[in-house]
Amino acid sequence: MAQAINKGNQSAQRKPPASLSRTMSIPATSENFLLRLDNRQISTVENSILIWLDTYLDIVSEEFNYFIARFQELVHLILPFFD
């Protein structure tokens, strides 16, 4: 539990990329989710799978890399599939 709290403190020190505040290509629900990461209550979810289908995903954008880095703080493994 203390480890999860420390992760939250570390993420609070990071600043989003400058382009993220100017042009936001992440959907509003994802943006709100990321903003709440620092002020969340600690809870545990185990054995879950998230499948995110997005035809307009730009994997080389700075916003995508920022989102993946923040999301990686919550989950153990991210496996992107590109077809």
Task: Domain count for the chain, please give it.
Answer: 1
Q: Which of 16, 12, 60 lies closest to 37, judged by CA? A: 12
Interval 14-19 mean pLDDT? 56
13 closest CA partner among 38, 33, 41, 32: 38
Mean pLDDT value of segment 32-46: 66
Q: Is residue 80 part of a domain?
A: no
Amino acid found at 18: A
Indicate whether 68 belongs to any domain. Answer: yes
**For residue 61, what are the domain limits?**
2-72
The answer to the question of residue 41 being in a domain is yes
Of 78 and 35, the one with more pLDDT? 78
- Is residue 78 assigned to a domain? no
Asked which of 6-15, 27-36, 39-48 is least confident by mean pLDDT, the reply is 6-15
- Does a structural domain hold residue 62? yes
Each residue's pLDDT tens digit, 42-58:
667 777 788 888 778 78
The answer as to whether 30 is a domain residue is yes
In a domain, 77, yes or no: no
